[in-house]
Structures are given as C-alpha cells and as structure tokens.
Amino acid sequence: MNFPVGNQEFFHKNQFIHDFRQASPYIHHLNGKTLVLAISSHVLVSDKLAALAADILLLTSLGMRLVIIHGCSQFIQAIAGRNTAISIDENPITDENALELVKQASGIARFNLEATLSMIPTQVMEHSAPNVRIAGGNFLRAKPLGVINGIDMGYSGCVRKVDAAAIEERLAHNQLVLISPIGHSLSGQSYRLQVNEVAQAVAEAIRAEKLIFLGTQHGLLDEKQQTISELNCIEIRQLLARNITDKRQTELLQTAARVLEHGVQRVHVVSGLQDGSLLQELFTREGSGTAMAKAPFMRIRRAENKDIGEILQLIAPLEAAGILLPRDSEYMENHIHEFSVLEQDCYVYGCVALHVYPKDNAGELACLIVSPNARARGYGELLLAHVIKQAQQLQLQTLFALSTHTGDWFVERGFTSATLEQLPPKRQQQYTSNKRQSKIFCRQL
Ligand SMILES: CC(C)(COP(=O)(O)OP(=O)(O)OC[C@H]1O[C@@H](n2cnc3c(N)ncnc32)[C@H](O)[C@@H]1OP(=O)(O)O)[C@@H](O)C(=O)NCCC(=O)NCCS
C-alpha cells in the first residue's frame, strides 16, 4: 500500500509504537533468562553474520544471559578443500588428520565470531556500545565414541559432562560464553563433538530457558514445505513417527523432544541468514521460525491482577458495541478471582468469568470473550469446558448465561432457553434493573 509521505511517517510511527508495546512482555519475561544459541557454520561464513551479531549484542543489553555453541563444518570444508580432498562433514570417523582440521576450523570460526561480536553495530553510538566480554574454556568433558559396529570412530567423541558451575559463574559476571564443538578427556585427549549434541548437553546442564538453532532454514517444514510455527512434544513425536522429515530436521526434532523433557522451556529453529529473524522470533507473537514447547502453548488459568489490563482491552470493543456490560478496573479488581484467562505464550487471548450463587446451587458464565484474531480455533469451547468443570467441582447444578448476540453459540453447546424466573432471585433483580433484555440460557450440570 502506498501512503502519502505525511501518512507514511504517521504509519511508521504508529507501527513502531505498536511493535514496541507488543515486544514489551517478551522483553520483560526474558530479562535475566539464559539462552543457548547453536549457530551453524553456514551462518558464520555468510555476510549476514554482522547483522546477527548486532542482534545478539542487543539481547545481552536487554539482560539475557547467552551461551553460544558454534559450528565449524564450513570452515573444515574450506581448509580441506584447499589442502586435501577430505570431506569430514558427512564422515563420522575422525582420524588424526581430521582432528587437526577440526581444531584449525574451530579456531577460525571462534576468532571470526569473537571479532564480529566485538564490532560496534552501526546503529549504536560508540560511547554507548555494549561492552560484551566473551568467555571460553574447558567447559566440556568428552569421551570417545569408541568402536561402533566394528568401526573405530577414532577421535569422534560425545559429551561426558558439562561444567555447568563454571558456565554459570561466567554468566553471573555478565560474560557471554562461547563454546566450540571440541571436548577433552581426562587423559587430555581432544575429541570432535557434534554441535547439536553439545547444544543439547549444555542447555540441559544449565537449565536454559531456550535453546535456539540458527541455521539456513526459516524453521522446520511440514510435508508441503511450509514453515511449522509451533509444536509441542506430542506433535514432535507424531512428526518423528511419520518419518517424513529429512536427516537434519529429524535430528533437530529429536534434540528438541529430549531437552524439553529435561527442563528447557522452549526450543526454536530460526534462520540465521534472514536479517532480524532472531528478534522477530523472540519478541513478536507471530515469530519467524518454529517454536517448540513441552506442553501445548495455550493454557487456561485463574486470572490475576496483572491480567486486568488485557481483560479490559478484550472487553472494550464489545462494550462499545453493546454486546457486553461495561466493566471498569475497580469492578475487575473486586471480581478478578471469578475470572479465568486463556493464555498463549505471554499473551491473554480470551477470558471468562464464573459468578457463583451458592444458595441457589447455580453459576453464571459471563464475559466469555475470545480475541478477534484467535477466533474459530475452539478457544471459546475450551473456556466453556473450563467453566463447566469449575462449576461441577463446586457441585453446582445449573449453569446459565445471558447474551444479546451469542444465543445460538450457547444453544449449539447444550444450553436451552430459560425464563427470568429460572435465574437466582438476586440475579433477577439485576436483570430487571439493567434493562438490556438479554436472552437467558441455561444448562444442567
Ligand atoms: C462467542 C465467542 C466467545 C466464540 O469464540 P471462538 O473461540 O471463536 O469459539 P469456537 O472456536 O469454540 O467456536 C467457533 C464457532 O462459533 C461460531 N460463532 C461465533 N460467534 C457466534 C455467534 N455470535 N453466534 C453463533 N455462532 C457463533 C463461529 O462461526 C464458529 O462456527 P464454525 O465452527 O461452524 O465455523 C467469540 O466469538 C466472542 O468472543 N464473541 C464476542 C463476545 C461474546 O459474544 N461473548 C458471549 C457472551 S458472554
């Protein structure tokens, strides 16, 4: 759409205000949280690295504690291509020469990344540039993979132990921890490790909030090659059982399923090549790649005072349209214990209240709202089921609802038309005094 110049400025300003406000709950939530970023070497060799590094520095200045695991296969390829014809990326066996290549490649990857993270992003003034200290060290204890199916895997190893305390100490001193895919054994031998495995072991050991894979794809793909925006553990296992994903995607799904079962809250797969993808994934409702969580992202919980603002925002347009009764913040503060909210990620997408009339063994379902951008996903039905369960737990016998516009919705869900006399006497008085002439529906529990 083309806006006249003045309007464009207005549009951009408003867009900025909207986006900034939308980001604020995420910024607040992630302050002080630990994020493990596994960065593919494809990203490290690309010209997009500087932009990603600037965004990483931004995360640290917003109070996030970061551990970065870097890949090195592209650097190995570059060196091997120049010196010999060894392609180590697909070869799980690491001989002495290959181990030397891994060490060289890791060194180059690491120094390049350190250098890029030491740059002052162009949008930041020199005197206010974030001064991030990068910590490295022997955080990983490794052991050899040994002989598998009669084949000696040489210096290919696996993680034996992560020194979580040492990583924690660096993070507590506001340092960014950078880990290479190489570990050392108790005898002082170095072993080549898989980036995924290191990321998984580190994220679990330090109980990271998030493990984020930054690669070449926008996220995980479904059968139609569309990006999957969200998955929970059940869906991950279903996807794995269907055996439709390629090797890389299968590995990511397996890693995600495992870490989510071991205390990591979220796993994300995001493009490291698309400018701003990481910020979009972390700070917008829509995200940019695939986000995975143990349980479904949506939950219904009791409302708290902190939800009042969002509930009032849901009510406001319906109140203006005469669909719902006006409710102000004082009313909400006094009745918040009667409300439940449907929350997805950090946002409230719906609410419902149960007013109880104990003398009459009855309850009223009120203020059932689903945000317009989340309708027809079954959320209304879930909120109704939630209230029915609450009412049954309180051993109420009747649930009624009053509505001016949504009668059919209730009837299709087991309610029948009722008369004024069927309402509890106290509610009858209110009904007569507010003159809204709402239709009355009731359902036996
Ligand atoms: C009523 C409401 C809560 C339903 O939320 P929802 O999450 O979209 O509901 P569900 O996904 O469970 O159900 C969607 C179905 O209800 C239908 N529906 C939505 N509003 C309806 C209405 N006013 N009358 C009849 N059916 C309606 C949709 O068309 C859809 O039908 P379909 O599945 O055949 O396409 C939501 O539309 C809303 O917030 N409305 C405004 C507030 C309101 O009227 N609240 C009730 C009075 S307290």
| Cα angle: 341, vertex 343, 345; to 5 degrees | 165
What single letter denotes the amino acid at residue 168?
Answer: E
Pick the residue whose CA is nearest to atom 19 on ligand 1: 409
Query: Please, is 278 exposed, middle or buried when counting C-beta atoms within 10 Å of its C-beta (0-12, 13-18, 19+)?
Result: buried
Measure the CA–CA gap between 138 and 52, rounded to whole angstroms: 26
Among protein residues, the one with the nearest Cα to ligand 1's atom 31 is 376
- Retrieve residue 420's tokens: 């004024």
Residue 145 CB neighbour total at 10 angstroms: 20
Q: Name every residue whose Cβ is closer than 8 Å to that of residue 70 and which is 6 or more positions away in sequence.
A: 39, 41, 44, 106, 109, 110, 113, 178, 179, 180, 181, 195
314 CA closest ligand 1 atom index: 39
User: Residue 140 carries which side chain, given as an amino acid letter?
Assistant: L
Residue ranges of the chain that CATH labels 3.40.1160.10: 23-296
What string of pLDDT tens digits covers the 445 residues of the chain?
Answer: 444 555 666 666 778 887 887 788 789 889 999 999 999 999 999 999 999 999 999 999 999 999 999 999 899 888 887 655 454 556 788 889 889 999 999 999 999 999 999 987 666 555 555 678 999 999 999 999 999 888 888 999 999 999 999 999 999 999 999 999 999 999 999 999 999 999 999 999 999 999 999 999 999 998 888 899 889 898 899 899 887 778 889 999 999 999 999 999 999 999 999 999 999 999 987 789 999 998 777 889 999 999 999 999 999 999 998 888 888 999 999 999 999 999 987 789 999 999 999 999 999 999 999 999 888 888 999 999 999 999 999 999 999 999 988 999 999 999 999 999 999 999 998 888 877 789 999 999 9
**Domain 23-296 superfamily per CATH:** Acetylglutamate kinase-like (3.40.1160.10)
Q: Whose CA is nearest to atom 17 of ligand 1?
A: 409
Report the separation in Å between the CA atom of 389 and the middle of ligand 1, taken as the mean of its atom positions: 20
Task: Name all residues whose Cβ lies below 6 A of ligand 1.
Answer: 318, 323, 366-370, 375-381, 403, 405-406, 408-409
Q: What is the spatial distance between Cα 26 and Cα 279, in angstroms, rounded to a whole number?
A: 11
> C-alpha dihedral over 81, 84, 90, 95, to 10 degrees?
-140
CA of 223 to the centre of ligand 1 (A): 31
The answer to whether residues 117 and 70 touch, using CB atoms and an 8 Å cutoff, is no
How far apart (Å, rounded) are the C-alpha atoms in residues 315 and 331?
A: 13
Rounded distance from Cα 111 to ligand 1 centre (Å): 56
Residue ranges of the chain assigned to CATH 3.40.630.30: 299-444
CATH number of 299-444, picked from 3.30.70.1070, 3.40.50.150, 3.30.70.270, 3.40.630.30:
3.40.630.30
